Chain A
Amino acid sequence: MKVINLLTSSVLVTLLMLTFPIMMTSTTMYANKSYPQYVKTATSYAFVISLIPTMMFLHLGQDTMISNWHWITIQTMKLSLSFKLDYFSMIFMPVALFVTWSIMEFSMWYMHSDPNINRFFKYLLLFLITMMILVTANNMFQLFIGWEGVGIMSFLLIGWWYGRTDANTAALQAILYNRIGDVGLILAMAWFLMNLNTWDLQQIFMTSNENLTIPLAGLLLAATGKSAQFGLHPWLPSAMEGPTPVSALLHSSTMVVAGVFLLIRFHPLMEYNKTIQTITLCLGAITTLFTAICALTQNDIKKIVAFSTSSQLGLMMVTIGINQPYLAFLHICTHAFFKAMLFMCSGSIIHSLNDEQDIRKMGGLFKALPFTTTSLIVGSLALTGMPFLTGFYSKDLIIETANTSCTNAWALLLTLVATSMTAAYSTRIMFFALLGQPRFNPIITINENNPLLINSIKRLLFGSIFAGFLISHNLTPTTTPQMTMPHYLKMMALAVTILGFILALELNLTMQSLKFKYPTNLFKFSNMLGYFPTIIHRLMPKTNLLMSQKSASTLLDMIWLEKILPKSISHFQMKSSMIISSQKGLIKLYFMSFMLTLTLSLLTLNFHE
C-alpha cells in the first residue's frame, strides 16, 4: 500500500537529508559564511519530515523494518544494512532532531566569533548522524558503528579548544572510560555470535536462551561506560570543558542516553533475569544519590547541570531495574527538552557575563536577563517534577511505580533522597545565579536580544512545558501504570521535592550573611566528587607503575642478575686484596727475577745422565 511506502521512504529521506551538508564539505559551500545556516535548515527540514513516519506509526501501531543492502555473509551469519523503526526509534528521532535544531540555532549565536564555526557544525552534524544510526540499528554491528561514532565525535567536540590542557585531558578521559564500557558491548556481541549465531535483534529476541546473564552483564557494562554510572562516571563532569552547545547536545540529551537506550532495546531479554535487574537497580540508585551529593557543593554552573544529568541517568537505570523500559524511554524523551534548555540558559548567562562560569560571581540576573531567567526557572521546575510540566509525566510516574512495586527498599530510599536533592541543587543554581545583588564586574556586556538565542530557547521552553503532555497522551499504551495507591505514596515525590526546595532556600538565606569558615569533612567529600577521581586517576596508575618498576626492573634485572654474584664477588675481592696484600706492583722486577731464576736453575742443574 502507498501509505506503508511513505513511512519507509520518509525515514530514509530524513536520514539522507542529514548527510547532504557533509557531502557538501568538498565544495565551496563549506568555506561560505552561510554554511551554519544551511546545516540548521537541513536539520529543521529533517525534523519536519521525520514527523510523518512518527504520526503514521502512532496511527498504525506496527513496527517496521527496512533491510536494504546485503553486505557480507560470514559462514552462516548474514550482515546487512537494516533499520528498525519501532516504538523507541520512531519517537526518539523527532525529539532528537527537534532538540538538535534548537541547539544548532543556539550555537550560531554562541560560537559566532569562532573562526572554525563551519567545522563545528560539521562535527555536530556528524554526531547527529551517528546517533541516528545507533538509534535505528537493527543489528548489533550497525549499533556498534553508531556507538563508536558518537564516542569519537564526543572526543573531537570536547577537545574543541585543544589549546587548553584541561580540555585535552577531559577528551582523553571520555575516550578511556567509554572504552571500558565498549569491552562490555563487544563481550555481548561475541556471546550472541557464538551462542545465537546472529547479530540481528529479531533473531536474538526469538531464540530464548536459559541463562543470559553473561551478555546482559556485558550490555550493563557498556551502559555504565556510556551513561556515566557510578564507577565509570568521572568523564561526564570533566566533559564540560567543551563548548556549551556540545554539553547541551551530547552530554545531556543525546549521547549519554545511548547506554540507557541500549538496555531499553534489549528489554525482552532483561525481563526474565532478576539478577541483572537487581544489579541495574542498585547501580542506578547509587549513581543518582552519589552524583546528587556531588552536585550540592559545586561552584561551576555547567558542572552542577552535568551532575544533574548524571543523577537523572541514574534514575533511568533505576526505572529499567524495576522492569519499566517504556517509562525510562519516556523519561529520556522528556529529559532531553529541559536539560538542553538548562544548558542553553547557562550558555546565555555565561556569554553575557563575559565567560564567567562560577556561580559565586553571578547574581542579580533576575532583572537583567528576564527571558533567560524565565526559562531557567521553568527548566528547573520541569527537572524537579513540578506537577503538569514536562518532567512530571515521566518522573512522577517513575517514583509512583517504584513506590508500589515490591523492590529493593534501600534503592528506593536512595532514589527518594536523590529526588529531594535535585530540588536542593536546583534551588542553589537559581539562588546564586539569579537572585540577590550582582557579584560580577560592573562592565555591562549583558545582552539577550539576539533572535537566534531567543527563538531557540523559546522553542525548547514550549517543549519543556507541553511536550510531556503531548507525548504521553499520544503514545500507544504499553505497560499499564499503577492506578491506585495510598495517599502518602502518591504524594511522596511531591513532598520530598517541596522539602528539598524549602530546606535549600532556608539554608541559602540563613547562611548568606555568615562568614564561610573552614570546610567540614562532609563538604570536602562532596566538593571533591567523593575523592573518586583523585584516587582512581592518581593512585591506581602510580601503584601499577611502581609495582612493575620494583619487581621487573629493580628486583629481577638489577639485583638477581647484577648484584648477587658478579658485583658482590668483585666488590669482596677488591676490598680484601686491598687490605691483605703488601705488594708494590713492580711487575718488571718480578718478571726479571723470575727469568733469572729460571735460567740459572736450568744452567746449574743440567748435570745429570
Chain B
Amino acid sequence: MSVVYINIFLAFTLSFMGLLIYRSHLMSSLLCLEGMMLSLFVMMTVTILANHFTLASMTPIILLVFAACEAALGLSLLVMISSTYGTDYVQNLNLLQC
C-alpha cells in the first residue's frame, strides 16, 4: 500500500480510538465520529480519482448525505441528554431514566 492510503487509514484509526475512549463529555465522541466520516470521504475520493473509476464518482456525495443525517441524529441525542441533565457528562447516564 502506498503512503497516502496508510496516512488516511491511520487518521481513521485514531478517530475510531477517540470515539471509543473518552473521558467525560459525550460531545467528544460525536466529534470523533465526524472525523471518521471525513477520513472515509477522503480515502474514497482519492481511490476513485487514482483508479479513474468514474462510475463510482457519485459515492462520496452519498456518503456525505448520510453523514449529515447521522450527525443530526447524534446532535438530537446530545440535546435530549443535555436538556434532561443540564450537561453532557457521561456519568449521568448510569441509570436509564427518561
Contact = CB atoms under 8 A, between A and B. Distances in A.
Are A and B co-members of a single complex? yes
A136 to B, nearest CB: 74
Interface residues of A, number: 14
B16 to A, nearest CB: 8
Interface stretch (A198-206, A225-233, A590-598): A590-598
Contact of A595 (B21, B29, B94): B21
A584 B95 contact: yes
A444 interface: no
B96 A581 contact: yes
A587 B91 CA distance: 9
B88 to A, nearest CB: 11
A583 interface: yes
Nearest to B92: A585
A interface majority secondary structure: helix
B15 to A, nearest CB: 13
B6 interface: no
Interface string A313-324: 000000000000
Contacts of A578: 96, 98
Contacts of A591: 19-22, 29
B98 A574 contact: yes
B90 A588 contact: yes
B93 interface: yes
B32 to A, nearest CB: 11
Contacts of B90: 587-588
Contacts of A588: 22, 90
A595 B17 contact: yes
A585 B22 contact: no
Contacts of B96: 577-578, 581, 583-585
A597 to B, nearest CB: 11
A578 to B, nearest CB: 6
Contact of B94 (A581, A585, A592): A585
Contacts of B20: 591-592, 594-595
Contacts of B19: 591
A310 to B, nearest CB: 64
Contacts of A585: 93-96
A578 B95 CA distance: 11
A564 interface: no
A131 B3 CA distance: 100
A598 to B, nearest CB: 9
Contacts of A583: 96
Given A574-B98, A578-B98, A587 B21 contact: no
Given A574-B98, A578-B98, A592 B93 contact: no
Contacts of B95: 584-585
A194 to B, nearest CB: 59
Interface string B59-98: 0000000000000000000000000000000100111101
A577 B96 CA distance: 9
B42 to A, nearest CB: 22
A588 B20 CA distance: 7
Nearest to B93: A585
A577 B98 CA distance: 10
Interface in A565-587: 574, 577-578, 581, 583-587
A574 B98 CA distance: 8
Most buried by B among A574, A581, A587, A592: A587
B74 to A, nearest CB: 13
Nearest to B98: A574
Contacts of A581: 96
A129 B96 CA distance: 82
A160 B4 CA distance: 90
A600 B98 CA distance: 35
Contact of A592 (B21, B26, B29, B98): B21
A584 B29 CA distance: 19
A562 B95 CA distance: 30
A583 B29 CA distance: 20
Nearest to B24: A588
Nearest to A586: B94
A383 B17 CA distance: 104
A81 to B, nearest CB: 71
Most buried by B among A574, A583, A591, A594: A591
A271 to B, nearest CB: 77
Contacts of A592: 20-21
A587 B26 CA distance: 10
Interface string A346-380: 00000000000000000000000000000000000
A21 to B, nearest CB: 71
Contacts of B22: 588, 591
Nearest to A593: B20
Interface in A397-442: none
A104 to B, nearest CB: 73
Given A574-B98, A578-B98, A587 B17 contact: no
A25 B17 CA distance: 90
A592 B17 CA distance: 10
Nearest to B17: A595
Given A585-B95, A591-B19, 14 more contacts: A577-B98, A578-B96, A578-B98, A584-B96, A585-B93, A585-B96, A586-B94, A587-B90, A587-B93, A588-B22, A591-B21, A591-B29, A594-B20, A595-B21
Interface of A: 574, 577-578, 581, 583-588, 591-592, 594-595
A-B interface, 3 closest residue pairs, ranked by CB to CB distance from nearest: A585-B93, A591-B20, A595-B20
24 contacts: A574-B98, A577-B96, A577-B98, A578-B96, A578-B98, A581-B96, A583-B96, A584-B96, A585-B93, A585-B94, A585-B96, A587-B26, A587-B90, A587-B93, A588-B22, A588-B90, A591-B19, A591-B20, A591-B21, A591-B22, A592-B20, A592-B21, A595-B20, A595-B21
